[in-house]
Amino acid sequence: MKKTIIYPDENGNIFVIYNRKMEYNNINDFKSNFAKIYHQNVVPSLRAFENDRLKTFKSAILYTVIGLLISIIMIFYGLHSDIEIVLFIGFAGIILSLVIYGCMQKNFENKLKERIMPVLMKAFGNFNWTTSQVIDTLYIRASEIFSGFDDRSVDDNFYGSYRQMPIEISETHLTYTTRDSKGRRQTHTRFKGLLVCIATGKTFSGHTIIRCREFLGNRRVYEEVKLEDVEFGKQFFVDSNDQVEARFLLTTAFMERFKKIRNSFGSKHAECSFKDGKILIALSTAKDLFKLGSINKPLTDTAPFKTFLIEIISILEMIDYLKVTQKTGL
């Protein structure tokens, strides 16, 4: 059954309407449907794209080999002439060859996603993939997870709902700028990884934040919350302006699922904010997430899709937990 959902834009004055598809009621239904659609729809699409992969791979290898041969010849002749200039040109050629290969790889990955992601999303029920920004940047700032950033760029983004809970997922890069002693502008990474925003349907009276102690620094906003889980407390610093609510939210079950999401995405560190009825989870990782294939491997390789499935399921399991607490009032 299709429904309609309305999302405001970041300025709150433009509304975009999406058609909503069938939602799943549990993880087993999701897994079953994923397997069915993967074999019936995704695999044939991948096979049709395999010839493009082979052509791209052969072209990339050809350009790389030609570039390397020219570079080797230049280096060889450089030994008998102006060595510094020729060696510079030779090594520059090697670097250029590798850059060309990388660009062809990235272009292929982008084309593959444009072709396969819409098909793959059918397996996810009411989910959509886009390269446009999701998760309000103003909300990210208000979460107080990050000490400050000047710019935001995104790669893969997903929006939809699971068990009637709206969810947005964004592969995000946050940066900030400084100036050196000579006034030159320098850009630094504040965060690179995945942001997950879940609308819980609850009202939070306060604001609770979970941060990694290892990267805490001076980022203390409210009073520290002392937790019964000693091991969790060793890894994470929790502060809140509502001590009672914070302990109410951070149950043992929630903390276990929070750590599982972090592990599923291979995150260096994970942080979280409870604010305005939403949970924002930030998973820092250097990995290029949601890769569906590579030019140097057959597209029938199931490993990328298995990884994709594990990552998404870890998020859905968090929603399963939130849905249970919503019913029980915990």
Q: How many CB atoms lie within 10 A of CB 148?
A: 9
CA 4 from centroid of its chain's CA atoms: 26
| CA distances from residue 32 to 160, 187, 261 in whole angstroms, order as listed | 19, 45, 21
Whether the CB-CB separation of 158 and 316 falls below 8 Å is answered with: no
Find the DSSP H helices in the chain. Answer: 27-37, 43-78, 83-120, 137-142, 230-235, 243-249, 252-264, 303-328
Q: Note down pLDDT in tens along the chain; length 330 residues.
A: 343 333 333 434 333 333 445 556 667 777 777 777 788 888 888 888 888 889 988 888 888 888 778 777 766 766 666 666 666 766 777 787 788 888 888 888 888 888 888 888 877 778 889 989 999 999 999 999 988 899 999 999 999 888 888 999 999 999 999 988 888 889 999 999 999 999 988 889 999 999 988 766 666 789 999 888 888 888 899 999 999 999 999 988 888 888 888 888 888 788 999 999 999 999 998 888 888 888 888 888 888 888 888 888 888 888 887 765 654 344
End-to-end CA distance of the chain: 31
Q: What angle do CA 138, 217, 280 make, to 5 degrees?
A: 35
The whole-model pTM stands at 0.79
d(CA 197, CA 162): 12
Q: Report the DSSP beta bridge partners of residue 286.
A: none
Whether the CB-CB separation of 145 and 209 falls below 8 Å is answered with: yes
- Give the type of residue at 109: E
Whether the CB-CB separation of 44 and 115 falls below 8 Å is answered with: no
